[in-house]
Every structure is written in C-alpha cells, then in structure tokens.
Structure 1
Amino acid sequence: MLFVGFSENTCLLLAFLIYSFTFTLMVSGLDTVAPSVLIQEPETVSSNNGMFTLGFFRPQNSTRCYLGIWFMSESFVVWVANENDPLTDSSGILTISGNGNLVVLNGQKQVVWSTNVSTASNSSAQLLDSGNLVLIDRTTGAFLWQSFQHPSNTLLEGMKLSTNKKTGKKMLLTSWKSTSDPSYGGFSLSLEPHNVTEMFVWKENHPYWRSGPWDGTAFLGIPWMTQSIFQNGVQIKEEEGIYNISYDQTNKAILVTIILDSQGIVKPMIWNSKANIWEPQRKGFHSECDVYGICGPSGICSKRGSPPICSCLKGFEPKNKEEWARRNWTSGCMRREALQCERDKYGSQASKPDGYFKLEKIKPPDHAELLLSISGDIIDCQIMCLKNCSCIAYAYERRIGCMVWNEDLLDLQIFPFRGVDLCIRLAHSELGIDRRKMTAAILISVLIGIVLITAFGYFLWKKVSKQKGDSFFHWEMHLQIHNSKRMRNLKQVKIQDLSLFDFRKLATATNNFDIANKLGQGGFGPVYKGKFEDGQEIAIKRLSRSSGQGVEEFINEVELISKLEHQNLVTLLGCCIEGEEVILVYEFMPNKSLDEHIFDPLQQKSLDWGKRCNIIEGIARGLLYLHRDSRLRIIHRDLKASNILLDEKLNPKISDFGLAKLFGGDEDQANTKRIVGTYGYISPEYATEGLYSEKSDVFSFGILLLEVITGRKNTSFYEDAESLTLLGFAWKLWLDGNVIRLIDPKIYDASFEKDLLRCIHIGLLCVQELAKDRPTMASVMSMLQSDIVDISPPSQPAFILRQTMSCTAEQTPNNDALCSINNVTISKFEGR
C-alpha cells in the first residue's frame, strides 16, 4: 500500500495524477526547461504571457522537423535552431545536456544542435515574454546564451542587429530558402556603418538592396518610414566600435516585427488581433527600382511614367546603347562632356567653370562620404565640392550634414516624396538647354513679340524699367500673357506706393539665382534667398515660365498685400517686371515656415507651449486684421502651416495672398465655380458648393490650431482602422472626455493643461460643419485671451472620416488602402 487507508487502484490513480501535474508544471505550464527534463514532439514550452511557444514544428508541405519559436501559431515561426540540420522523424528531443548546454538530439541520441557554451554547468533554459530563448546560470542568474544573439529571418522588438566596425563581425538576419525550408536562402540583412550608416540586403556577397543613409530618425532611402508606425521607434547606437540597430514600439498595444523573406524583401509586419494573423504593414520594396544598381553607374530609376524605368542623368548618355535598347541597363551611362578638371589635365583650352544640376526627391547614391568638417549649410557644401576635382555630386541634409560623392553615382532612384536634393556636377556646356529647344524657343519668342508688343508698350516699358528700385511711384502698364494653347486677354496691373526693383540688382543679390540660394518651389515658381549690398536679406518669388496660375497670383498679391501693413502679415517690399521676368520681393523670414517646425520630429522640440501659444495668437491677430481691421476686407482662402512664416523671434506672419479675395463693405459671402486652396484645409461649404466667407478662413484656422497642438498633419493623419482624420480623432476624444491624448507629449505640462484644453475647445468650435455655428475671428481672439469665460460646446466637425476610394494619384505613404486626391491645390510653397 502506498497510502494508508486507500485501495490499491485509488493509490495508482492518485500517483498518476500527481505525476501528470508535476510533468505539466515542468514542461507545458512553465516557461523553463530544467535539467533532466526531456521535451519531445508534440510537447512545448510557452512564455508566461502565452504569446511565444518553443517546440518542434514541421513547415507547410514539408516532412522535416525543426526546433523553433513561433508567435501564437506555427504559421509564424520567428526563430529556428537547427535550420540546416533538420530531423527526418519525430524522435527529436530537447533537453539540458550533462555539460549544461541546451541541445537537440535525434533518434540515435546524437547532438544535431547545441547552444555550445563552454562555461555552462548548473543551467536551465527559459523562454521570455519577448520571445527570447535564454540559457541561464542558475547560480548567478546570468545569461549564458540568447536566441536574440543568433537571429533567424525575423527581427523582434528588443532584438538587435549589430556590426563590430573593428572586427567586421556581424549579427544579421538570414532568409529562408522557401516557406517550407528554413535553411539559408542566400539573402541576409545587415547594418553597415561606413562613411554613412545604412542597412543592406545581400544576395550571397553582392548588394541587393540598401536603405539609404540614416539621418537620426529615418533612412533616407525609405520614404514612408517617418509616416508609419516605425516613426521614432528605430534606434541606432554605437558602443566601443559596435553599432546596434533595434526597434522599440512606443505603443505597446501594437505588435510589429520585420522579416526578411525568401525573395530578399524586407517586410514590416503588424499583428491583426481581430484576425489573429500577421499582415504586411507595407508591401516592402518590391519594384525593379528597388534592386541595387539596376540602372548602372550614372543611371537613374523611376517607377513613375511609362517604361523604360531607367534613364541617364542630365549630361550623360548610355555607355552601351545596344544593351540599353534590350533593357539591360547594368553598363550604366557616361559623360558627354568632360569636367573642367579633366580638360585642364589634358591641356585643353581654358573654358567656363563647371556647374551643378539639381535633382529633387532622390535616394542618395551609394558610397557617400560625409564631410565632418562642414558644420555650415548647403552653400559651404557646394564650395567644398567645387574645390575638389574628384567630387562629382553633393547633397546637404540638415540632420546629417554635407554628403559628397567621388565615385560613380550608383543606385539612384526618384521618389514620389521625401528623399534629398542631389546636385550633380556638369560641364558648363551641359547646363544649358537643348539647342533644338533653344532655337524653337527663340522663334516662338520672336513671333509672340511681333504680335503682342506694340511700339508704345515697348517704349513705356523701357522708361519704367530705368527707374531705381528704391524709389516710390505710381505706375501703370499692360502685362501681356501667352500660353501654348491660346492668347489671354491683356490684364492691367496697378502698382501704387511699391518699389520696382531692377532685375540685375535681384540677380546679383541671389548670385544669378544660384541653386544654392533656392528656398523652395511653389505654384508661382521658385523662391530664392537674396542679400543686397547693404546687408538686407530678402526672399524672392520668381514666376516660373511653366506656371499656369502665377500671373494671376502676382496681380492678386500686388493689388492686395501692397495695401496691407500688420505685424502678423508678411511684408511685400516690391516687384520686378522686365521682359519675361515677373518677380515679387518680400522680407526674409530666417525661421522658414511653421510646418518645418511642428511636423519635424527634431524641430518640434524647439517649440514649447509658450511659443506655440504665441504663434496661435499671432495668426489669429493677422486674420482678424484681414477680416475686420484693415482698409480692405480680405478672405485669405489658403491658410495652412506652410503659409505661416516665422521671423527671427518665431513670431508668425501670414503669407501667400495669391488666392485671396477682396470683399465689399456690405458683402459677407461669395460664390465661385472654381475651387482653389489646399485639400484638408478648405471648409465644407466651399468644397461642395463654392461658397466662401470669413468662416472659410475660420475653418482653416481651426485645422491649423489643432495641428499646432498635436504636432500632426491633418492631411496625412491615420489613426486606426476607422479611417479617422485628425478632426475625427479629436471629436472622438472630445466625446470620450479624453482630449488630453490629443496634445503633443513634447509640450504637455500639467500647469498649462487648462490653456491647452481651452485651445482644443476653440479649435473644435472653428471646424464645425455649418459655417453659421463657427465663431468670428473677433470671438476667437476673445476666447484665446480668456475674455469669454463660458465657451459653448462644439457640434460635430466636418470631414471626420477619410474616404476610401480608387485613386488615380499617388496613394498616401502611410496606408496603401487609404488615399485622397488633392484636386484643388494650386499652391504648396516651402518655408522661406
């Protein structure tokens, strides 16, 4: 008898139950593999949180057996032990060996895999909640071995990929051969901290894809990275020559991971808790342009437009035209004209110096060199490159500094957004336009001149253009406009009390409109920084010849803003009309535009709540002046963050009056069939019926106010599967009584909470769907200054849901399934 007072059968039953309970504790119910415990298929070990499981598995369509770790189900294996030594039957055993190592044995008790630690003795293995399998010294608690230091094809949160710059030793991801074969598939992903830090996918020992340089927050070759769940989560650190990259998801409710699939594609994945499956957060890189160097040296790849995808850079031509005709571009391109240094080297006659041609939104080429001595700006970068005969291109990125290239430009790609401005060195003769185009342009110009320019107009223009730029005068002239389709009516421009600048003076101030002085590009044309001989800095908007709306904007700006004067409106200093040149001259704003500060992760920190509050009140004062206090009653119609410029003290000034409209004394509303403005900022009555009024600007101000407080864009805001816009999300939080979640964490302070909540309340009042429900700017100013104590509750805003539609334009970089087409934007000026 085993137990006194019990029958033999009862004792046997109790012994079996005790054994089963003990075995369950040792194996299935705990996260630890202790010495003397044997785990065989189908027995498993689970992490305490139940998310990760360690055990033997068989891939789909395979009879081979492997030891691995999977997340939630065997369909998503994140780590494999014996990937190159599979078991052929179900006799595999996982246990702690006599020497303290965790081992996998086959049916003949032969070791097919081991942690292979020489110092292991009194040890056990544990599966942590992070999915990290560790071998632990039970005496000291130290980790002797970790699966996180031996990755498979999956990068989990908290796992690090590393490279020892001194020894060259790397910790990298390796792809599976196929979905049913976890053995090495030929692709690997590693961190490469050379001149600049990048990620590379290698196919065997050859580069297959690269991420572009790391700028401290994102990789420049992954445009969507800053507008995804990976924003601010990726970190790269250096310790004693060892560089590590890891990912830490700030929102713990979202589970993300990255896998390197069998095709060499890097796929960010997000866990769908409703469907209990992992889904691609994006499609990864999947087009031909993403393959490393597909267009060869000095070739550039573009997914936009019609095939072929590869073309040569300006000033270059195919090295092997027959191969290019067969769409084999790997031989690349070569220069048509040698650079000045090369000509001087071979004793050629002196010629004009080289110049630079700028490409925008470019993936930086491989082999970038960082000029650490450059702490200045893009002009310093250009000067340094021009002095070095071997420097063939440069790019300036403010988070990185000056990057230059002394080798062939390889792996170039045009992006739909982000990227860098790449300036390519060309011989002077290559900087001009094509001779045939030049001849055609001359002929067209002559014909237009004969038809349009009368002798009276010519002499009148000559007389006016000779007057000095600093003199004030009354001036009238007819500005004649032409485009390729039809002649437009003559428009009369009246310029009163406005300086007329000499074109040569403006050209000198901008160093002949040098690309290094270019601040941005808008619907009107390029914007340049200039400096007069007396030291005065200016911003110059030069009408682009290809602009379809620029002349109308010019007339509007001259007729309206020249009559306005307010501390929160940008000052128009004068203009220039000479020949085909149409130019506006403004005061220079050293801190550029508001969007550069509130939407940039690094610049956001420079704007605390006090500064943001001052900016909000300044914009409100400027609008109040336009609506009620100026000689003219003006509706701006394009109020947005990029049209708010900041002076040296970060005081805001409203700019860009090209779309503004003048109201008569008894007018309070107008109608138009031509909807203009910027998607995401225009009011609902204007977007749907063409009705605009003061309340249209109030709506735009409400959007802008919420953007300043949240630090997030209304036009690219995606919160969840409900497709909420920023307004929708704010309204949802308002109804839930949790609007504090809306506040940018960088500015939140409990002592300012009342003011922040008050501003959000005002913002929601401004964006109400019905124009009659919105306050006037006079009321807004009173509420901001706390003159109105009791503020009425807001009603539901407009546009709280984002439409899902079939898009004919580029989809949003944040979510492939959600998109919006900007059919009404005609101006998108950069800060200047």
Structure 2
Amino acid sequence: MNQVAVEAASSTRKFSAIKANWTAFQTLTGGRCLWPSCSVRYELYVFYNQTAIRTSPPPPPPPPPLLLPASNPLVSRTGKGVNSNVLAIAIVMSIIVAVLLFIAGYCFAKREKKSDDSALTFDGDDITTIESLQLDYRTIQAATNDYSENNQIGRGGFGEVYKGTFLNGTEVAVKRLSKSSGQGDIEFKNEVVVVAKLQHKNLVRLLGFSIEQEERILVYEYVPNKSLDCFLFDRAKQSQLDWSRRYKIIGGIARGILYLHQDSRLTVIHRDLKASNILLDADMNPKVADFGMARIFGMDQTQENTSRIVGTYGYMSPEYAMRGQFSVKSDVYSFGVLVLEIISGKKNNSFYETDSVPDLITYAWKLWSNGTALDLVDPTIVDNCQKSEVVRCIHIVPWQPGFFGQSRPKKDLLDSDQSTTSKSVLGSVDDASITELYPR
C-alpha cells in the first residue's frame, strides 16, 4: 500500500497499480475505499489492463519495524503491524461505506413501496409498540371464515365487525374498515397507537392489526354481549338491565374515562362516547371502545381547538360543537348524556320529533327544576331501583342547557364550578335524607 501510494503521487497520471502476495491472513475479500482526494481498490483478481500499466520496479526493502510496546495490538508477529493496521482500516471503512449505501437504498425502496401501497409509517416509539401486534392477514381471514355474513356481529360508519376464532381457540372481534369509509390512514394509525398503549379493565383491549392487500383490520378481544345500546334501547331486552346492573355500568364507564383522563401515562380525549361505543362482556361489565377519533394531549395541555368536528351530535358539548374546543370536559359532558340515557332508557335524539323539549338533557333539566326528577327513570326499573343512587346520578345535570337555536349562555357552561338556584328540594328518598340538591 505504501509503495503504490508513493508511485501514484509521483506519477503524472496520479495513478498506479501493483500486484503483491498476501499471506497475513488466511482469507481476504475485495474492497474499495473512496475519499475526496483518492480512490483505492483491491481485489483477488486482476481488475485493470496490465498492458496499459508499466511494469513496476522491484519493491524497495521494507522499512525497519516500528518499535512499539509488545502489548500494542497494532504490532503483528511478523513486524508488519503498521501496514496491516492501514489495510485493516481500509477494509473496515469500505465495509462501513457498503453497509451505509445498502441501508440507504433499502430505506428508499421501502419508502417508495409504502407510498405506492398507501401504507402507514409510524414515527417515534410508536413502531416499537405496534410491531408486535401486527398479524398476518390470512390468519385473520381464516378466523372469520373469509368475513362470512354469518360471523358479522356489527356494522358501523367505518365498516363491519366480525366474530373470529383463531386456531388456538381465542375468540376475537375483527373490525374491518370499509375502503370507502371516512376513517383513513390517520384515524387507523391513531386507533392502533392509542389503544395499544392503554390497559384497563373498562377499556376494550386491542390484540392486533393488519395492513395488507389494501385492507385495514383491527383485532380486539371478543365481548359477547355486544354494545350497551343493544340492550338499553331494545324494549325486549331492557328488562335484562335492572338498576343494579345499570349502576354498575355507569361506575365502570366512569372508571374507564378516569383512566383515560388521569391515570394512564397518556391523557386521552375519546371524543365519541356514546351507548354504541360501550361494549358489555359476559358479566355485563362495560368496556369503552372505538378510539378512532381519540386525541392524545401533551403533559401540560388542557384544551385544544379544531376545525374538524367529529363525533355524534347530541353527545357533543356546546363549546366543542359550536367552537371546536375540546378537553377532558368534553368527554365528561358526553358521559353525562350517556348516564341520562342509562337511567331513562331513552335515546337523546328520541325527543327531536316532539315540540315539548328538544333533547334528553333539556327534558331532565325540566324534571329536576319541577322537583320531579324521578319521572326520568325507565318505567321497567322505577319500582326496583335505589332512588338515592338514581338521584345521585341525575345530579350530574349541568347548568340549564344552551344549544343550537337557543341564545348562547353568558358563560361557558362547563367552566363554572358554582351551583345554581333550583326549585328542587327533595326530601327523604328511600330512607336517605337528601336536601338542597342543586344541579351542577
């Protein structure tokens, strides 16, 4: 290497080539080292035109070995430690360059392929969370019997839900997103990342997902009793939800929301809490589901504005529906509407056809103001409920509702912690003395 470098430097063409016997190592592979000032290549075969290069003179005698401490790893047993070290560095550098070029080419090709397939890219530490959850599409397809209609257990705005059974006997719920649905790559990625990081008994658990063949598949734990609305608004099934079960469901939903807002390491705003997004397991325990519209807040973030209003009208807080402002209070408002539905067995939008009240919240407010709050209770449970617990739940009614078509309230309905004057003063209810209860 030293000789060929000297010859190249003294040549008018700044070029030289030389042949040498190699005995330092048992094996040697070819390589190339590119630098701004020079290029060096070595191979086990002749890779240049020998006739175009002058015959090299005999090599000068090797320089005396460099005296270094015997323990220095650069000194070889043959006394050629320095030359061997230079060659070793050249080999290592060429390998590093080759590896970097390979990685760059691979990343570029992968990015192009993902762009062509409209697939997702995951940033930050998200990929470490979700890679272990990625499932083979054919496995999911087989588990649902190729998405048979007999296996379909639900249908939503974003696609169908199927029951599936894996080969090991695990039952799952498979959410297959429609190709023409409103939930695109962003919402799909959002739901995967959010749900994968949340673990609570009152939240539905994500088992896996698949992005293959232009399909977007989410695989959840199977919850046998479907969603809350299937019982709550079905006259034939309402009786299965006695007050003790409804009260248990209310508490479970509250614990799930508290985990999202406060107890998890992420502050998650669900933004679409409603009866159809509350699933019931075999013991009728509630599990909050469908996180496609959820948003993650930063450590010190308390509120966010958006021009893209998502969710379900009737469950949206006024400041979110009208101004695009959402926070944990937005979910609490939706939870309040849901509680009133659970108590009454009535859908919030079932009042739209009447002229007396526009919605369930206004109806509940009027009953409370008139001192007849218990008239809100579902007739199927009114004779067997704990009235003190019912009143405690109704007590979450906010200020007098202000919605579309009515004048905007003077202050933000959800930002005040002051109580308001009410005509309602309830006396003894079910042996529990409750007085001076004002809606909050």
- TM-score, scaled to structure 2: 0.65
Match of 2:386 among 752, 771, 782: 752
Where do 1:67-78 residues align within 5 Å? none
1:552 shift after superposition? 1.9
How many percent identity over aligned positions?
52
SS at 2:142's partner residue? helix
Where do 1:353-392 residues align within 5 Å? none
Return closer, same or farther for 1:751/1:634 CA change in 2, 3 Å cut-off: closer
Task: Report whether the alignment pairs 1:551 with 2:185.
Answer: yes
Matching residue of 1:772: 415
Matching residue of 2:30: none
State the number of aligned residues.
Answer: 308
One-letter code of the match for 2:298? G
Does structure 2 conserve the Cα–Cα contact (< 8 Å) formed by 1:480 and 1:491?
no
Return closer, same or farther for 1:751/1:566 CA change in 2, 3 Å cut-off: closer
1:739 shift after superposition? 1.0
One-letter code of the match for 1:759? C
Where do 1:635-674 residues align within 5 Å? 635-674=269-308
Does structure 2 conserve the Cα–Cα contact (< 8 Å) formed by 1:699 and 1:767?
no
State the Cα deviation string for residues 501-532 of structure 1 (Å, max 9, x = none). Answer: 11111111011111111122223322111011
State the Cα deviation string for residues 379-406 of structure 1 (Å, max 9, x = none). Answer: xxxxxxxxxxxxxxxxxxxxxxxxxxxx
SS at 1:589's partner residue? coil
Where do 1:381-530 residues align within 5 Å? 456=106, 478=114, 491-492=121-122, 494-497=126-129, 498-530=132-164
Counterpart Cα distance in 1 of 2:353 and 2:120: 50
Name stretches of at least 5 consecutive residues in structure 2 with no aligned partner.
1-103, 403-411, 419-433
Counterpart Cα distance in 2 of 1:766 and 1:655: 30
1:719 shift after superposition? 7.6
State the Cα deviation string for residues 211-268 of structure 1 (Å, max 9, x = none). Answer: xxxxxxxxxxxxxxxxxxxxxxxxxxxxxxxxxxxxxxxxxxxxxxxxxxxxxxxxxx
SS at 1:773's partner residue? coil
Counterpart Cα distance in 1 of 2:379 and 2:217: 42
Does structure 2 conserve the Cα–Cα contact (< 8 Å) formed by 1:499 and 1:575?
yes
State the Cα deviation string for residues 722-766 of structure 1 (Å, max 9, x = none). Answer: 343111111111111011110001111366111111111124479
SS at 1:653's partner residue? strand
Where do 1:158-169 residues align within 5 Å? none
One-letter code of the match for 1:492? F
Does structure 2 conserve the Cα–Cα contact (< 8 Å) formed by 1:604 and 1:746?
yes
Counterpart Cα distance in 2 of 1:621 and 1:698: 12
Matching residue of 1:731: 365
One-letter code of the match for 2:264? S
Return closer, same or farther for 1:794/1:479 CA change in 2, 3 Å cut-off: farther
Does structure 2 conserve the Cα–Cα contact (< 8 Å) formed by 1:524 and 1:553?
no
Matching residue of 2:226: 592
Does structure 2 conserve the Cα–Cα contact (< 8 Å) formed by 1:703 and 1:767?
no
1:701 shift after superposition? 0.2
Counterpart Cα distance in 2 of 1:542 and 1:599: 25
SS at 1:716's partner residue? helix
Return closer, same or farther for 1:479/1:616 CA change in 2, 3 Å cut-off: farther
Counterpart Cα distance in 2 of 1:511 and 1:737: 56
Return closer, same or farther for 1:651/1:458 CA change in 2, 3 Å cut-off: farther
Where do 1:196-345 residues align within 5 Å? none
Does structure 2 conserve the Cα–Cα contact (< 8 Å) formed by 1:683 and 1:699?
yes
Counterpart Cα distance in 1 of 2:400 and 2:285: 22
One-letter code of the match for 1:532? F
Return closer, same or farther for 1:791/1:632 CA change in 2, 3 Å cut-off: farther
Return closer, same or farther for 1:481/1:641 CA change in 2, 3 Å cut-off: farther
Return closer, same or farther for 1:491/1:573 CA change in 2, 3 Å cut-off: same
Counterpart Cα distance in 2 of 1:760 and 1:455: 63
> Structure with the greater relative contact order (CA < 8 A, sep ≥ 6): 1 or 2?
2
Does structure 1 conserve the Cα–Cα contact (< 8 Å) formed by 2:357 and 2:363?
no
1:595 shift after superposition? 0.4
Name stretches of at least 5 consecutive residues in structure 1 with no aligned partner.
1-453, 462-476, 483-488, 776-788, 796-832
Matching residue of 2:406: none
Return closer, same or farther for 1:457/1:598 CA change in 2, 3 Å cut-off: farther
Counterpart Cα distance in 2 of 1:546 and 1:615: 34
Task: Report whether the alignment pairs 1:626 with 2:264.
Answer: no
Which has the higher Rg, Structure 1 or Structure 2?
2
Counterpart Cα distance in 2 of 1:580 and 1:458: 21
- TM-score, scaled to structure 1: 0.35
Return closer, same or farther for 1:457/1:522 CA change in 2, 3 Å cut-off: farther
State the Cα deviation string for residues 297-345 of structure 1 (Å, max 9, x = none). Answer: xxxxxxxxxxxxxxxxxxxxxxxxxxxxxxxxxxxxxxxxxxxxxxxxx
One-letter code of the match for 1:770? L
State the Cα deviation string for residues 322-375 of structure 1 (Å, max 9, x = none). Answer: xxxxxxxxxxxxxxxxxxxxxxxxxxxxxxxxxxxxxxxxxxxxxxxxxxxxxx
SS at 1:703's partner residue? helix
CA RMSD across the alignment: 2.8
Of Structure 1 and Structure 2, the greater strand share is in 1
Where do 1:128-147 residues align within 5 Å? none
1:717 shift after superposition? 2.1
Return closer, same or farther for 1:505/1:458 CA change in 2, 3 Å cut-off: farther
Counterpart Cα distance in 2 of 1:767 and 1:536: 46
Counterpart Cα distance in 2 of 1:614 and 1:501: 35
Where do 1:91-130 residues align within 5 Å? none
Does structure 2 conserve the Cα–Cα contact (< 8 Å) formed by 1:525 and 1:550?
no
Matching residue of 1:794: 439
Matching residue of 1:561: 195
Of Structure 1 and Structure 2, the greater helix share is in 2
One-letter code of the match for 1:793? Y
State the Cα deviation string for residues 455-492 of structure 1 (Å, max 9, x = none). Answer: 9479869xxxxxxxxxxxxxxx956676xxxxxx9753
Counterpart Cα distance in 1 of 2:334 and 2:289: 14
Counterpart Cα distance in 2 of 1:644 and 1:792: 29
Return closer, same or farther for 1:678/1:718 CA change in 2, 3 Å cut-off: closer
SS at 2:199's partner residue? coil
Counterpart Cα distance in 2 of 1:761 and 1:790: 12
Matching residue of 2:240: 606
State the Cα deviation string for residues 163-190 of structure 1 (Å, max 9, x = none). Answer: xxxxxxxxxxxxxxxxxxxxxxxxxxxx
Does structure 2 conserve the Cα–Cα contact (< 8 Å) formed by 1:529 and 1:538?
yes
